[in-house]
Amino acid sequence: MKASRWLAGMAALAWSGTAALAQDTYEIWHYYAAGSELAGMNALIEAGNAASPDTQFTGVIIPGNVVELRRQLQTAFLSGQPPALYQSSMAYELKTFVDGGRLHPLTDVWSRIKGDEIFPEGVQRVVKVDGVPYGVPFDLSLINNVFYNKAAFEKLGLQPPTDWDSFTAACTALREAGYQPLGNAGGPFWSLYNFYAALVSVVGEDGYYKIARGELGFDSPEFREALDLYRDRMVSCYAENWSGKTWTQTADDVINGDTAMFMMGIWVAAYFEQANFLAGEGFDMFQAPGTAGKSIFQMDVLAVPEGTEGSIAAAEQFIEAAASTEGQAAFAVPKGSLAPNVNVDPSVYGYAGSTFSRQFAEASQANAVLPNLFFLLPTSVGTELGVQIERFAIDPSDTVKEELVTTLEGLRQQALTDNAFIQW
């Protein structure tokens, strides 16, 4: 009897070991390390794994942001050990690795998910290189909303600003009442994102793409005018000591009622909600002056390095699940972002998400969807643009302005010489 039980146990163990070996496990690299971002990524991975039980993905967090992930990928490519799948930004970030022959074209899986039907044209143009898709979107955030503390506005009888004059008037009234009018945070991205409102106000959508293509100079009268508008109408409203704060610290200032407004990506809404500072009650939002009816967005995509037949097949299976309405909603709801797939039912969102969804749908219909300029520019130009705009926001003097113009224009000329700009 004992021998029979032992043999039965060994047989069961052997069977379970065979089953475990049959289940292949692959890595997906990402930089969503905490909070709603990590919750969204975990939900996406769970949805992808549930759709393909025999092929499982495990998340590997690369601390930092897209820049640090890029560095880690470069090292992994050199050692011949890239992940099967990774989180990438759009546009130039994809093209860099495509040019190096590192990415697998997603033409087949794009066809299976009907990418040209489920993603808006403005989204498609920044995941394709020479017409070939190399990334599939899973996370989209708008970056041209200003969030405001409703109690502060109601106390002063203020309405959400609709143009630069009413925005400046609101800042003045808030400061006189003891509030910090407009929050900001240190780092090369946040001031740049704020600057887009002034830039679009001056150059419009056509000019925005001309800058992305290298056709409109940083020394042009239009770009200088945008810098002046940003300085006079937005930088002048910034809270004291803003450059020493993270975006979450500034968000806390809005929650606490110390700061009245904060122009930030829509992920801040999820942060507010986690703190029980609820959309439509504690806070609300409006599109920044000059961007009403438009959507300036940034987006994360899933990209597949060239690899073995097995790893590519597994990655494409995961992508099919991630691009479905269920997969997209699984990520977007906990993350507090939008699903790029237009077939996702807006009812999955709360008050804030429904507002953003409506904004994006209206902008898409009006062909007024603008990808984050940072990712449209050659990497060296986009990175320096962020650095220089933050420097100007900290010290908006004429001297810094001219140094900014000279530095960026020099990089533009070099990029033109190198034929580095792209016709997005």
Strands 283-287 and 145-149: antiparallel
Say yes or no: 275 and 404 in one domain: yes
* Rounded distance between C-alpha atoms, residue 299 and residue 139, angstroms: 6
In this prediction, residue 18 carries a pLDDT of 37
Say yes or no: 304 and 319 in one domain: yes
In this prediction, residue 121 carries a pLDDT of 85
Say yes or no: 134 and 156 in one domain: no
Q: DSSP string spanning 44-74?
A: HHHHHHHH-TTEEEEEEE-SS-HHHHHHHHH
Say yes or no: 285 and 305 in one domain: no
Structural domain count of the chain = 2
Strands 128-129 and 132-133: antiparallel
Say yes or no: 289 and 408 in one domain: yes
With contact defined as beta carbons under 8 Å apart, do 422 and 95 qualify? yes
Say yes or no: 131 and 149 in one domain: no
363 found inside a domain: no
User: What is the enclosing helix (H) or strand (E) of 196?
Assistant: helix 190-212
* Rounded distance between C-alpha atoms, residue 170 and residue 51, angstroms: 50
* Rounded distance between C-alpha atoms, residue 86 and residue 84, angstroms: 7
287 found inside a domain: yes
Strands, DSSP E only, in 145-282?
A: 145-149, 180-183, 259-263
Domain of 51 in residue numbering reads as 16-140+299-346
In this prediction, residue 24 carries a pLDDT of 85
* Rounded distance between C-alpha atoms, residue 20 and residue 277, angstroms: 45
384 found inside a domain: yes
* Rounded distance between C-alpha atoms, residue 192 and residue 385, angstroms: 8
68 found inside a domain: yes
Say yes or no: 55 and 178 in one domain: no
Q: How far, in Å, are 264, 296, 341, 370, 371 from residue 143 at the CA level?
A: 6, 6, 18, 10, 10
For residue 360, the number of C-alpha atoms closer than 13 Å in the C-beta half-sphere is 29
Q: For residue 133, what are the β-bridge partners?
A: 128
The CATH number covering residue 72 comes to 3.40.190.10
Say yes or no: 303 and 385 in one domain: no
Per-residue burial over 112-133, b if 16 or more Cβ lie within 10 Å, else e, is ebebeebbbebbbbbbbbeeeb
Task: Report pTM.
Answer: 0.86
In this prediction, residue 23 carries a pLDDT of 55
pLDDT, tens digit only, all 424 positions of the chain: 433 333 344 334 333 343 333 458 999 999 999 888 899 999 999 999 999 888 999 999 999 888 899 999 999 999 999 999 999 999 999 999 999 999 999 999 999 999 999 998 889 989 999 999 999 999 999 999 999 999 999 999 999 999 999 999 999 999 999 999 999 999 989 999 999 999 999 999 999 999 999 999 999 999 999 999 999 999 999 999 999 999 999 999 999 999 999 999 999 998 999 899 999 999 999 999 999 999 999 999 999 999 999 999 999 999 999 999 999 999 999 888 999 998 999 999 999 999 999 999 899 888 898 999 999 999 999 999 999 999 999 999 999 999 999 999 999 999 999 999 998 8
Structure tokens, 295: 């959507």
Q: For residue 136, what are the β-bridge partners?
A: 302
Say yes or no: 57 and 95 in one domain: yes
Structure tokens, 359: 């904004």
Say yes or no: 314 and 290 in one domain: no
Say yes or no: 96 and 75 in one domain: yes
In this prediction, residue 120 carries a pLDDT of 85
Say yes or no: 155 and 266 in one domain: yes
In this prediction, residue 10 carries a pLDDT of 36
Identity of residue 92: Y
